[in-house]
Amino acid sequence: MTWIFENWERFWEVTAVHLRLSVVPVLAGFALSIPLGWWASRSPKARLVLFPFANVLFTIPSIALIVITPVLIGTKILDEINVIVPLTVYTVALMIRSVADALSAVPGNVVAAANAMGFRPLRRFLTVDFPLALPVTIAGLRVATVSNISMVSVGALVGLGGYGQLFTEGYQTDNTDKVLAGLIGTVVLAVLADGLLLLIGRLLTPWARVGR
Amino acid sequence: MPGYAERVKVFGIYIQGGPIGVVVATGGIRRVIEFRAVTKRFEDGTIAVDELDLAVEAGTITVFVGPSGCGKTTSLRMVNRMIDPTSGTILVDGKDVLTVDPPTLRRGIGYVIQQAGLFPHRTVLDNIATVPLLSGWDKRKARTRAAELLEIVGLDANFGKRYPAQLSGGQQQRVGVARALAADPPVLLMDEPFSAVDPVVREDLQNELLRLQAELDKTIVFVTHDIDEALKLGERVAVFQTGGHLAQYAKPTELLSAPANDFVASFVGRDRGYRTLTFLHAEVPVHPVATAKLGERVTITDWTLVVDEQNRPRGWLSGVDGEVEVSERDLVSGGSLYDGSSLRGALDAALSSPSALGVVVDDAGAVTGVVKADDVIQALAKARAAGEVPK
Amino acid sequence: MGGWLFDPAHWSGTTGIPVRLLEHLGYTLLTLVIAALIAIPLGAFVGHTGKGGFVIVGLSNALRALPTTAVLILVVLWAGLGDFPVYVALVLLAIPPIMAGTYAGIRAVDPVTVDAARGVGMRESSVLLQVEIPNALPLIYGGFRGAALQVVATATIAAYTGAGGLGRFVFDGLALQDFGQMLAGAVLVALLAVLVDLGFAGLQRLTVSPGLRPVGSGGKS
Ligand SMILES: Nc1ncnc2c1ncn2[C@@H]1O[C@H](COP(=O)(O)OP(=O)(O)OP(=O)(O)O)[C@@H](O)[C@H]1O
Ligand SMILES: [Mg+2]
């Protein structure tokens, strides 16, 4: 623990990088997964393509995806994009399912009623389907966020930033305290992000808690 | 198909001396289950059963009936220690159940519940063989026994390989009964076993249970909230009142003719006079009826009963004068059939028939004639005069 | 690009593809066995008694947040190089999904079925072993297969601390700037993951009662 207090500035610096490297992919992945998940909830054919594809993406080790990315998109080996792109891919793979399941679970009679009231499709999606799908979607988002925060560290194995740097440096210099500092930082960040999403979910979906 | 006597002998081989022992008819009345001042108070303070005193006789069907929440299930589940009483004693075969370890006790008592509760991961045959296997029978013997029971509860042998999800509700219930009977327990507890199936299947299952009881001579405690079911099945009926009180424990006819209090009177219903007919058997004159077969050309003058090749009723042809060809689409259906069981059946057949003539059938379902409502009323009057109906 | 993968020279010897593949498979299987031995009894016990469910959920979530890399490095720093740190890190990774699947599976068994099991005279051990676990198997397998995928993918980082497995190709390739070798390592891991999942899917089909399949699929009628 002493390492954190003795190296306060460095700790904040890696925390900021870690946060950036995990939050950007969550947001990007979430945004991408909404149209894809909507498509999958609509069309069985889309599901047949998207779901197995998402499953295969998961089987690729994160370290491999991180080292392959620069070759595929032509970035430099130490570019942060090399972590952001793979984590975005994982987030999309995870969230497509959540979004599709959540949208499919919206009661048919509610949708029918909204159509009968004359909602146009986009407006209906934004004001009816999507809000009703939020609880399940946010549950998926919590899993994706926690696993992203834990996965960012892998980037350090190829020299990228975040708490993972404390792991690799601690390993090379035999400094257990430094590794522990990174581990604690990761877990605290994950717990905080998870709690925050839980809170946002509750605020956005007050109706989901009525009668419990 | 073994006859009745043979089948009993077959059962004899499998009778096992469990902790409860084998019920032996001793001639007189024997109390198999006894509640002595039994009270059950749940942790939240609910008194589900209040000072229950009640004895169940060997070889009878005893029905617990009453409105929802009156403590029927709780009373039943205290017999096999699925619930333990707060105070009082329950004896099964003279032995305090609290002195027997629950699993051992339960293996000696058959238990059937509303949703059948079959094990979804086991085939029908393995479901039925559960208790014999738990009691240490070898696998082959248990399977043989299970196959036998499948037949006894009226299911085809090839159902044995199916899984519960592949059965209808009524079939699942039959398997539930078979599973409870597998180790040949002298006592059977049944908690609303037929309430989740449709009325037609329910009636089938009820008749089947009466047949089984006549054959196997078990002591059965049967829970229901349906007063008709209670009156049909019970030799003795215990009416429970909300709060876990036993309001009356009597024979069905007595409940109908002499309800102990207003609660029982209202529970057995306003039409209890009509229900009484269920327990009256009197000669009702059977009249001949004009019949015709499908496809025949007949001249009809009055309501004509259309029958099939086996002389079983298909429907009525309305009383329009003239010559017609009997075709399916002209049939007026409806009406229950009277099989000579009780005055209630006769009256119901007459009242429910579009022609006001109740169709009488024999055991094979063939038409033997018709009865009229007037005749039933007269038979009733005669029975009353003979003192058969308690006032 | 596939040149490295199909070069016969890379298919033999103590550092060849077959050896690394077997190492990787070895890490995976032993990890899963250890994790299952810990997680299934815990999840089953808590699911059966219904007490302490919050412990299971909390423990699963806390473990999920643990970065595997850090655990691996910490154990290496404490206990030295070797396979032991790899197993510690991977077992901690595999426990949450298996434990959560087992717990959820047992809780999802119809209470009527469990009541009936007691009613026919099963002892608590039989209720758990003969009724609850067989009925929970589909969800237990769900958690287990999820864990297997994660373990296969993550076993790759074992090579960072010098252990074996397919991760060797990724890290050696990285050190040598040999892109072909890195790609070959990644492809082999993904392939192994798919094969392992297929294997467990087969095992699931063999060990889960046909009575638990969704109605309409399989079984005679
Ligand atoms: N485990 C329990 N804890 C607290 N109260 C209970 C419990 N089980 C039953 N009760 C209460 O005890 C009373 C009797 O319940 P019981 O299940 O015996 O009724 P029942 O006559 O079988 O009703 P039903 O016809 O609805 O099945 C009810 O008020 C019920 O709410
Ligand atoms: Mg009940």
B119 CB within 6 A, ligand 1: no
Residue that has been written with the tokens 């001249």 in this structure: B299
B73 CB within 6 A, ligand 1: yes
Inter-chain contact C67–A186, Cβ cutoff 8 Å? yes
Mean local confidence (pLDDT), B232-249:
92
Percent of chain B whose predicted confidence (pLDDT) is above 70: 89
| Contact status, residue A142 vs residue A198, Cβ threshold 8 Å | yes
Whole-number Å distance, alpha carbon B76 to ligand 2 midpoint, is 9
**Cross-chain CB nearest to C112 (options B115, B166, B180):** B115
Mean local confidence (pLDDT), B38-57:
94
Neighbours of chain A (3+ CB pairs under 8 A): C
Q: Which residue range forms the structural domain that includes residue A28?
A: 2-204
> Exposed e or buried b for every residue in C53-62, given b needs 16+ CB within 10 A?
eeebbebbbe
Q: What pLDDT, on a 0 to 100 scale, did the predictor assign at position C215?
A: 57
Which residues, including other chains, have CB under 8 Å from residue B157's CB and lie 6 or more apart? Answer: B147, B150, B151
Q: Is the pLDDT of residue B126 over 50?
A: yes
Q: Is the pLDDT of residue A202 over 90?
A: no
Closest C-alpha among B105, A78, B127 to residue C113? B127
Q: Can you tell me which atom of ligand 1 is nearest the CA of B64?
A: 21
Position A210 in a domain: no
B327 — phi, psi (to 5°)? Answer: -125, 155
C218 — pLDDT class (breaks 50, 70, 90): very low
Which of B40, B46, B194, B240 has most ligand 1 atoms within 8 Å of its beta carbon, as the pocket-test mutant?
Answer: B46
Position C7 in a domain: no
Phi-psi region of A75 (alpha: psi -120 to 50; beta: other; left: phi over 0): beta
Our count of domains for chain A comes to 1
Inform me whether the C-beta atom of residue B136 falls under 8 Å from chain C C-beta atoms.
no
Inter-chain contact C119–B121, Cβ cutoff 8 Å? no
Which of B42, B63, B224 has most ligand 1 atoms within 8 Å of its beta carbon, as the pocket-test mutant?
Answer: B42
Closest C-alpha among B218, B175, B222, B154 to residue B15? B218
| Contact status, residue B68 vs residue B94, Cβ threshold 8 Å | no
Q: Is the pLDDT of residue B10 over 80?
A: no
Q: Which of B92, B97, B119 to mutate: most C Cβ within 10 Å?
A: B119
Inter-chain contact C116–B111, Cβ cutoff 8 Å? yes
Measure A93 CA to nearest chain C CA, in Å. Answer: 14
According to DSSP, the β-strands at B245-250 and B236-241 are antiparallel
Residues of C in contact with B104 (CB under 8 A): 121
Our count of domains for chain C comes to 1
Task: State the SS3 of chain C.
Answer: CCHHHHCHHHHCCCCCHHHHHHHHHHHHHHHHHHHHHHHHHHHHHHHHHCCCHHHHHHHHHHHHHCCHHHHHHHHHHHHCCCHHHHHHHHHHHHHHHHHHHHHHHHHCCCHHHHHHHHHCCCCHHHHHHHHHHHHHHHHHHHHHHHHHHHHHHHHHHHHHHCCCCCHHHHHHHHHHCCHHHHHHHHHHHHHHHHHHHHHHHHHHHHHCCHHHCCCCCCCCC
Which tens digit of pLDDT belongs to each residue from A146-173?
Answer: 989 988 988 888 888 899 999 999 999 9
Inter-chain contact C121–B105, Cβ cutoff 8 Å? yes
B17 — pLDDT class (breaks 50, 70, 90): very low
Percent of chain B whose predicted confidence (pLDDT) is above 90: 45
Half-sphere exposure of B373 (CA within 13 A, CB side): 10
B65 — pLDDT class (breaks 50, 70, 90): very high
Q: Element (H or E) spanning A189, and its range?
A: helix A176-204
Q: What pLDDT, on a 0 to 100 scale, did the predictor assign at position C1?
A: 53
Position A212 in a domain: no
Q: What pLDDT, on a 0 to 100 scale, did the predictor assign at position B23?
A: 41
Q: What pLDDT, on a 0 to 100 scale, did the predictor assign at position A186?
A: 93
B320 — pLDDT class (breaks 50, 70, 90): low
B382 compared with B334, residue with greater pLDDT: B382
Residues of C in contact with B192 (CB under 8 A): none
The CA distances from residue C145 to C95, C140, C195, in Å, are: 12, 9, 12
Domains present along chain B, CATH in parentheses: 18-278 (3.40.50.300), 282-385 (3.10.580.10)
| Contact status, residue B134 vs residue C120, Cβ threshold 8 Å | yes
A212 compared with C202, residue with greater pLDDT: C202
Whole-number Å distance, alpha carbon B72 to ligand 1 midpoint, is 8
Q: Is the pLDDT of residue B164 over 60?
A: yes
Instruction: Write out the residues of chain C at the interface with chain B, using a CB-CB cutoff of 8 A.
Output: 110, 112-113, 115-123, 126, 131, 134-135, 137, 208-212, 215, 219-221
Which tens digit of pLDDT belongs to each residue from C176-191?
Answer: 888 889 889 988 998 9
Q: Which residues pair with B250 in a beta bridge?
A: B237
B9 compared with C162, residue with greater pLDDT: C162
**Cross-chain CB nearest to B117 (options C116, C211, C212):** C116
DSSP label of B287: B
Token pair for residue B331?
């049939």
Position C3 in a domain: no
| Contact status, residue B166 vs residue C219, Cβ threshold 8 Å | yes
Q: How many whole angstroms separate alpha carbon B152 and alpha carbon B160?
A: 13
B106 — pLDDT class (breaks 50, 70, 90): very high
Mean local confidence (pLDDT), B313-332:
77
Token pair for residue C200?
């467990």
Q: What pLDDT, on a 0 to 100 scale, did the predictor assign at position B25?
A: 42
Inform me whether the C-beta atom of residue B81 falls under 8 Å from chain C C-beta atoms.
no
Q: Is the pLDDT of residue C125 over 90?
A: yes
Q: Which residue range forms the structural domain that includes residue C192?
A: 14-210
Position C185 in a domain: yes
Residue B373, Cβ density class (10 Å: 0-12 exposed, 13-18 middle, ≥19 buried): middle
Which residues, including other chains, have CB under 8 Å from residue B81's CB and lie 6 or more apart? Answer: B97, B98, B100, B102, B105, B106
Q: Is the pLDDT of residue B27 over 50?
A: no
Mean local confidence (pLDDT), B59-86:
94
The ipTM assigned to this model is: 0.84
B224 — phi, psi (to 5°)? Answer: -155, 160
| Contact status, residue C95 vs residue C38, Cβ threshold 8 Å | yes
Question: CB neighbours (10 Å) of residue B358?
Answer: 28
Position C148 in a domain: yes
CA R_g for chain B: 24
Residues of A in contact with C179 (CB under 8 A): 71
Which tens digit of pLDDT belongs to each residue from A63-120?
Answer: 888 888 888 888 787 788 989 999 999 999 989 988 988 888 888 788 888 888 888 8
Q: What pLDDT, on a 0 to 100 scale, did the predictor assign at position C220?
A: 37
Q: Is the pLDDT of residue B91 over 90?
A: yes
Residues of B in contact with C221 (CB under 8 A): 162, 166
Considering only alpha carbons, which residue of chain C is nearest residue B135? Answer: C121
Question: CB neighbours (10 Å) of residue C138?
Answer: 17
The CA distances from residue B310 to B294, B353, C167, in Å, are: 12, 21, 80
Q: Which residues pair with B65 in a beta bridge?
A: B224, B239
Whole-number Å distance, alpha carbon B69 to ligand 2 midpoint, is 7
Q: Which residues pair with C130 in a beta bridge?
A: none
Measure B122 CA to nearest chain C CA, in Å. Answer: 7
Mean local confidence (pLDDT), B271-283:
72
Q: CATH number of the domain at A164, please.
A: 1.10.3720.10
Q: CATH number of the domain at C82, please.
A: 1.10.3720.10
Which tens digit of pLDDT belongs to each residue from B187-231?
Answer: 999 999 998 888 888 888 899 899 989 888 999 999 998 888 998
Q: How many whole angstroms separate alpha carbon B232 and alpha carbon B170?
A: 19
Considering only alpha carbons, which residue of chain C is nearest residue A177? Answer: C74
Q: What pLDDT, on a 0 to 100 scale, did the predictor assign at position B24?
A: 43
B169 CB within 6 A, ligand 1: no
Q: How many whole angstroms separate alpha carbon B361 and alpha carbon B336?
A: 10
Q: Is the pLDDT of residue B382 over 50?
A: yes
Residues of A in contact with C76 (CB under 8 A): 171
C-alpha B147 chain-centroid distance = 23
C220 compared with C45, residue with greater pLDDT: C45
C76 compared with B29, residue with greater pLDDT: C76
Position A209 in a domain: no
Interface of B with C in 139-168 (CB under 8 A): 161-166
Whole-number Å distance, alpha carbon B46 to ligand 1 midpoint, is 9
